């Protein structure tokens, strides 16, 4: 998407900061409104957290899809936006924001300057770093993973999942029919995961090793097993692959220096138009906040449309906020 010959200056009507599902939909909707758009993201691929963390995970709360795999949802969003030719700058971290009489300029950490008349921040939780499984750190990339990118990589192997949240149990469900065996290790007897998912994992017969922690990983060049300790002593579990689903830490990074009001260094307050404290800058998706906020992909899509429509009106006060329904328009021609 972004190439080594990316020009030093890119111009667009709207700059979308973040290429997760909300940002990709904002890119589509800006095109639908007749606006040129650039989409910037620090990750090398579009899709945000879904691509980086959950590409194989089934998502059940997107309208029109009883179930859709994460990577498939991202592909459909890219396909939807493609006719309008959004400019993607991937592997570029939005760094410095400048305000001017004609809008904004954002310079990325690679030195590319993006000039836009409005900005829509869809950065999710910002940059995210997995919490480490310290005893297994030496095996990162050689048997230890934090996210499952391809289920087939685990076919026929003994898998130990460490964690007690939704991700840990989602991976247990997904890997059970693929792996030779799946065991889930958690330091407590209770779980943060949704009770329905926990019940489904129990029904499959996945062994839940509770009140236990991984104390040592066996093996030299590759994982050969894990030792877990509890109040009852230590035991060794057969293991060829470890998934550490321990959550992650998030950081809004340079966005904190943009002069936008931010609550608790985590969320950007917005009004009903998705407008931030800075005129011309809007926010949608998990990064924004307002009374009654619900953090779902489905909600982010609606917020993206709201942000784009109000950005269009901000750029041209004569333009209506509501442009009419897409069914009233001819099918878009591919750019």
95 is annotated as contributing to ligand binding: no
How far is residue 190 CA from its own chain's centroid?
Answer: 27
Q: What distance in Å separates the CA atoms of residue 180 and residue 164, rounded to the nearest whole number? A: 21
272 is annotated as contributing to ligand binding: no
- What is the bridge-based pairing of β-strands 158-162 and 181-185? parallel
Q: Which residues pair with 23 in a beta bridge?
A: none
Are residues 124 and 80 in contact, defined by beta-carbon separation less than 8 angstroms? no
Q: What distance in Å separates the CA atoms of residue 294 and residue 300, rounded to the nearest whole number? A: 9
- What is the bridge-based pairing of β-strands 94-100 and 103-108? antiparallel
Between helices 297-315 and 21-32, what is the axis angle to 10°? 40
327 is annotated as contributing to ligand binding: yes
128 is annotated as contributing to ligand binding: yes
197 is annotated as contributing to ligand binding: no
- Backbone φ and ψ of 244, nearest 5°: -95, 100
Q: What is the CA radius of gyration of the chain?
A: 22
Q: What distance in Å separates the CA atoms of residue 273 and residue 271, rounded to the nearest whole number? A: 5
Nearest to 139 by CA among 167, 155, 160, 165: 160
Between the alpha carbon of residue 174 and those of residues 74, 102, 148, 165, 335, the distances in Å are 19, 50, 10, 15, 38
249 is annotated as contributing to ligand binding: no
- Backbone φ and ψ of 52, nearest 5°: -75, -30
Known binding residues are 22, 41, 49, 54, 94, 128, 286, 327
Known binding residues for FAD are 22, 41, 49, 54, 94, 128, 286, 327
């Amino acid at each position: 998407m972004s190439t080594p010959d990316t020009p030093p200056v890119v111009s667009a009507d709207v700059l979308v900061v973040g290429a997760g599902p909300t940002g990709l939909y904002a890119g589509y909707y800006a095109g639908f409104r007749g606006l040129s758009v650039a989409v910037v993201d620090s990750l090398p691929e579009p899709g945000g957290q879904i691509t980086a963390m959950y590409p194989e995970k089934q998502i059940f709360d997107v309208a029109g899809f009883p179930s859709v795999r994460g990577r498939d949802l991202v592909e459909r969003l890219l396909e939807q936006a493609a006719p309008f030719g959004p400019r993607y700058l991937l592997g570029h971290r939005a760094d410095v924001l400048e305000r001017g009489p004609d809008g904004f300029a954002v310079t990325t950490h690679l030195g590319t300057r993006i000039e836009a008349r409005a900005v829509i921040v869809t950065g999710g939780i910002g940059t995210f770093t997995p919490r480490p499984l310290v005893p297994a750190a030496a095996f990162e990339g050689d048997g230890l993973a934090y996210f499952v990118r391809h289920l087939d990589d685990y076919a026929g192997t003994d898998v130990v999942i460490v964690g007690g949240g939704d991700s840990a149990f989602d991976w247990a469900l997904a890997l059970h029919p693929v792996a030779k065996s799946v065991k889930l290790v958690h330091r407590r007897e209770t779980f943060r995961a949704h009770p329905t998912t926990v019940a489904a994992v129990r029904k499959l017969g996945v062994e839940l090793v509770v009140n236990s922690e991984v104390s040592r990983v066996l093996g030299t060049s590759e994982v050969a097993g894990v030792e877990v300790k509890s109040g009852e002593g230590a035991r060794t579990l057969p293991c060829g692959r470890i998934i550490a689903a321990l959550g992650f830490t998030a950081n809004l990074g340079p966005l904190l220096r943009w002069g936008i009001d931010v609550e608790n260094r985590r969320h950007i307050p917005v009004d009903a138009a998705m407008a931030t404290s800075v005129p011309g800058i809007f926010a949608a998706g998990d990064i924004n906040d307002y009374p009654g906020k619900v953090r779902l992909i489905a909600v982010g899509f609606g917020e993206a449309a709201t942000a784009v429509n109000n950005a269009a009106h901000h750029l041209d006060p004569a333009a209506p906020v509501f442009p009419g329904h897409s069914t009233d328009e001819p099918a878009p021609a591919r750019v």
